[in-house]
Structure 1
Amino acid sequence: MPSLIAWLDASSEEQRRMRDIIRLFAERESRDELGLGQIRDGIADALFPGTSTLLTRARYLLFVPWAYRKAAGRKDATGDAAQFERDTIRALKDAGDYAGLLGMQAGEALKNLPSAIYWTMLRHYGILSDASLTRDDALRLEGMRAAPDDLSEHKRFRAWSTTLPDAPDGFPKSLPGGFALQRDEAEWLRDRILDQAPDTLIAHLAVERPDRESPAPWADAAAIAVSGDAHVMLDDARAFSSLMHGAQLLYNLMLAEEYEAAGYEKLAEPTAGFRDRLDRWSDELIDLRSWDLDLLLARVELTRGSPINPQSRRFVRNWRDLLIEHGSAIADSAELRDFMARRERQHKGAQARLGNRARLATWGGSSGAGALVFRWPQVRGILLDIHDGLARRDGVTDA
């Protein structure tokens, strides 16, 4: 599908950001073809708490509370808050900052507003004064007196952190700096991460700048320098990604073979491509005998606060055992192919693609075939925004 993001006259740095966003939307990690979502998300939450695959730019963590604080107390606070969020779309376009812009195509008709996407992160990092607040609560309670007869300002309820940096003059109609964080804003967001997610990988990377192009956290020089429990979690994340990437590639190889056998030709030699990717994966597979999968699953359940689906747990364990038994040369194993077909039917039911000619016809050439990287492109982008702001001189924008 051609990208809907317009290429505009931009600097090389802006173009790089645009490429990152296109890659982000090309194959979201949120696709869960084999039922790994609970474990994948539990690992991501342990590494990067409060985040999601929908995040784009760090300054939305300020745009949203600024819009809500401005709308609070108005007659139509809900409608005004939404309008202020939509006003930022035009202001960002006017500033020439397009990379990561929510509503690039829809404009002010955007339905899924930034507040809906960022609310969890606003809660987690203490930007909201109380993590239990809903969006309606934040508008209704902001500025409300603690008691009907109490006129003192210090006893009014504040929905947002009292240390929240002030919105720039002209917000939301004007944002000359676009998404560029000012130094005080970047320092404030960094401190929220350090305060609310101590001893995690995201806290480490709020201090140590990640690489711009690293494809995964375990391929990032700053990330692999983390210590303690965060380092253990990073090692486990890499091991789980390595383990399950083979399953993802074998599944897609089977789809590719059925696609070609059915006579479909829109995709160029998908079977050969996935065989090549499986060969490269086999060279990178970790030593499964020395890695404690059960300990990782227990850590995931602690992070989630609830058990992993038993079928998902069984699938992962059985896949690990099969690889230990058969080794990494899995492309032509009848036993592993049967295992994968059964798993797809179990997980997807009537929506399974294998053996379903009509579903194969709509196959785009990759169904969750990318290695799990646990929200790394999105989190790395947020962190780089913060580090860029920390490096910025006071009062200087990139406009």
Structure 2
Amino acid sequence: MSSIGWVDFSSTDREKVSQVLAMLQEPGTLDELGIGQIRDAFADLLFPGFSTIQTRAKYFITVPRIIRDYLALDPRAQRRTSLRDYLESQENELARLLVERHGPAEDGIIGSDMVGSEQGVARKPSSVYWNGLRQFGIVNTEKSLSEFSREIAQVQSGARATGHEEDDTDAISNCSVVHLDVFDPAWSTDVSIHLSESEAQFLIDKLTHTPAIRNSVASQFLIHDLAKELVVGGLASLTFPELVTWARGRQEVSLTCRQNLELAEEFSEAIRGAHIRFNILIAQKSRNTALVTEREERFSEWLELARERKLFSASSVDDWLQAATSGGARINLNAREFLRQWHEAIYHNESLSSLNYLIESRAQKNKGRRSILLKNLGEAPKWQGMDSLSYRWPTARTILTDIVQGAKC
């Protein structure tokens, strides 16, 4: 059995690693060519606060409710359990209540398959949704969940030392650290995975009035009352490229949002060619002639489309990187260098053998001895690494659907 380990320097690092490990279980996320930082930078720009492992909008409500419940406990009860432990027990209970209410077949109930087990919910909603809760201004903090929990524990310790527990506890719970549509101590009595109208309107308010995310896709679609059109009926299954085409014609959507969408889609299409060649190399090493032929045809079609769209212009790479990093994301030099090399190779019509050498070199530089190209794969797998990028659009669409249905728009 293989295993991995890491050294983390903060709870934020630990939470990021946990989410990366979870996402690696999702299909199509293997980053063999090392362009994941650029993909994630665009995803953060377009869909801040969302992640591919989120399931339903309700957890943007239930997690802060559990935190508020903890802050409302008397000091003696808080001394007996930390916020982190309280979240764990209540999230296990929440999974049980939701399965009891809707049945185990309901989509998106986190931990439904763990209800009744000793382990409890493996992937806690609080960790999955924490970044979104901060980005949307539902929880006012820049700290990681672990740091936030420790901060509350430190305030409690200080209160006990000074003998003013009640006053300090009230200060924590009433200082607008956690926002809710209403404070209902009995909220879990008849809890549902579906949003109430009040909860949906609360999320709409947060998504449309938080300045830092105003030009994001979800915010713009809600601000201009376009979300219903996108998540109900014929448009509900739009792919990311189709979404970009649709948004291009909506002048009410901010120019910044439309431009970011177009640049993200251009980057996705441009780098798709590199992944096609990567999979050609796998087929060649597996001596699968039929698969090589099929993928070479796919690459020829891609190349023709790329030239028709003029994806590789003199300014393309600068445009992609400038947009991707406009939100403050950092992209390492190796990823930048490879993107420029791939751009130059296509822009100057280099030979297929030169393209293959570039891709093979990049894969081995990125993965070292772990590169798939150095392994004996036997029969070539159908696909390795990324294909067309959807960023976080499928997740955002699910969340928007819940909001629209809850708000009865």
Give the alignment's TM-score, normalised by structure 2.
Answer: 0.76
CA gap of 1:162–1:101, structure 2 versus 1, over 3 A, is closer
Aligned to 1:298: 322
Q: State whether residues 59 and 125 of structure 2, in contact with CA within 8 Å, keep that contact through their aligned partners in structure 1.
A: yes
What's 1:185 paired with? 199
Q: Distance in 2 between matches of 1:110 and 1:186?
A: 25
Letter in 2 for 1:32: D
Paired AA for residue 240 in structure 2: A
User: Is 1:218–1:238's contact at 8 Å kept on the other side of the alignment?
Assistant: no
Report what 2:218 is aligned to: 202
Q: Which residue of 2 aligns with 1:348?
A: 367
Distance apart, 1:68 and its partner CA? 2.4
Which whole-Å CA distance do the structure 2 matches of 1:241 and 1:162 have between them? Answer: 37
1:124 equivalent in alignment to 2:172: no
Change (3 A) 1:140 1:320: closer
Q: Counterpart of 2:205 in structure 1: which amino acid?
A: D
RMSD over equivalenced CA pairs, Å: 3.2
- Give the Cα–Cα distance (whole angstroms) in 1 for the partners of residues 374 and 166 of structure 2: 70
Partner Cα distance (1:244, 1:183) in 2: 42
Q: Cα gap change, 1:27/1:284 in structure 2, threshold over 3 Å: closer, same or farther?
A: farther
2:341 counterpart (310, 314, 318): 318
Tell me if structure 1 keeps the 8 A contact 2:91–2:121.
no
Taking structure 1 as reference, are residues 371 and 182 closer, same or farther at Cα in structure 2, changes over 3 Å only?
same
Which residue pairs with 1:157 in the alignment?
172
Equivalent residue number for residue 19 of structure 2: none
Does 1:101 find its partner at 2:106? no
Contact 2:28–2:386 (Cα < 8 Å) also in 1? no
Shift in Å at residue 30 of structure 1? 3.7
TM-score, normalised via structure 1 length: 0.78
Q: Which residue does 1:18 correspond to in 2?
A: none
- Consecutive unaligned residues of structure 1, counting only runs of 5 or more, are 1-23, 263-268, 393-399
User: Aligned-pair distance for 1:169?
Assistant: 4.1
Call closer, same or farther: CA 1:298–1:386 in 2, change over 3 Å: same
Distance 2:342 2:53 in 1: 30
Q: CA deviation at 1:112?
A: 2.1
User: How many residue pairs end up in the alignment?
Assistant: 353
Q: Distance in 2 between matches of 1:212 and 1:277?
A: 28
Counterparts of 1:29 and 1:44 in 2: how far apart (Å)? 15
Percent identity over the alignment?
A: 24
Return the letter of the residue paired with 1:230.
C
Give 1:242 shift.
0.9
Instruction: Indicate how the Cα distance of structure 1 residues 214 and 280 shifts in structure 2: closer, same or farther if over 3 A, else same.
Output: farther
Aligned to 2:44: 45
Kindly indicate whether residue 271 of structure 2 is the aligned counterpart of residue 244 of structure 1: yes
1:280-295 mapped onto 2 (5 Å cutoff) = 280-285=301-306, 286-287=309-310, 288-289=312-313, 292-295=316-319
Per the TM alignment, residue 278 of structure 1 is displaced from its structure 2 partner at its CA by: 2.8
Equivalent-residue separation in structure 1 for 2:281 and 2:243 (angstroms): 29
1:168, distance to aligned residue in structure 2 (A)? 8.2
- Asked whether the 8 Å contact 1:242–1:284 carries over to 2, the reply is no
Contact persistence 1:253–1:275 (CA under 8 A): yes
The one-character-per-residue Cα deviations of 1:119-154 (angstroms, maximum 9, x if unpaired) are: 111111111122326346358639969996596799
Q: Return the alpha-carbon distance in structure 2 between the equivalents of residues 45 and 239 of structure 1.
A: 16
Change (3 A) 1:104 1:168: same
* 1:87 aligned onto 2:111: no
- Looking at structure 1, the residues matched to 348 and 124 of structure 2 have their Cα atoms a distance apart, in angstroms, of 49
- Structure 2 residue runs of 5 or longer lacking an equivalent are 1-22
Question: Could you tell me how far apart the structure 2 residues matched to 1:29 and 1:58 are?
Answer: 24
Matching of residues 25-44 of structure 1 within 5 Å: 27-28=26-27, 30-44=29-43
Aligned residues of 1:30 and 1:53 also touching (Cα < 8 A):
no
State yes or no: 1:259 paired with 2:286.
Answer: yes
Q: Is the CA contact 2:33–2:363 (under 8 Å) kept in the aligned structure 1?
A: yes
TM-aligned CA deviation for residue 200 of structure 1? 2.2
Is the 8 Å Cα contact of residues 200 and 230 (structure 1) preserved in structure 2?
Answer: yes
- Counterparts of 2:36 and 2:275 in 1: how far apart (Å)? 13
**Counterpart contact for 2:275–2:385, Cα < 8 Å:** yes
Secondary structure class of the residue paired with 1:354: helix
Q: 1:309 is aligned with what amino acid?
A: N
Against the structure 1 CA distance between its residues 29 and 381, is the aligned structure 2 distance closer, same or farther, given a 3 Å change threshold? farther
Name whichever structure is richer in helix by fraction: 2
Contact 2:288 2:380 in 1 (8 A): no
Q: Secondary structure at the match of 1:157?
A: helix
In 1: Cα distance, 2:88 partner to 2:99 partner: 18
Q: Which segment is superposed worse, 239-248 or 370-379?
A: 370-379
Q: Distance in 1 between matches of 2:202 and 2:187?
A: 21
Aligned to 2:7: none
Q: Give the Cα–Cα distance (whole angstroms) in 2 for the partners of residues 152 and 216 of structure 1.
A: 51
CA distance in 2, matches of 1:34, 1:346: 9
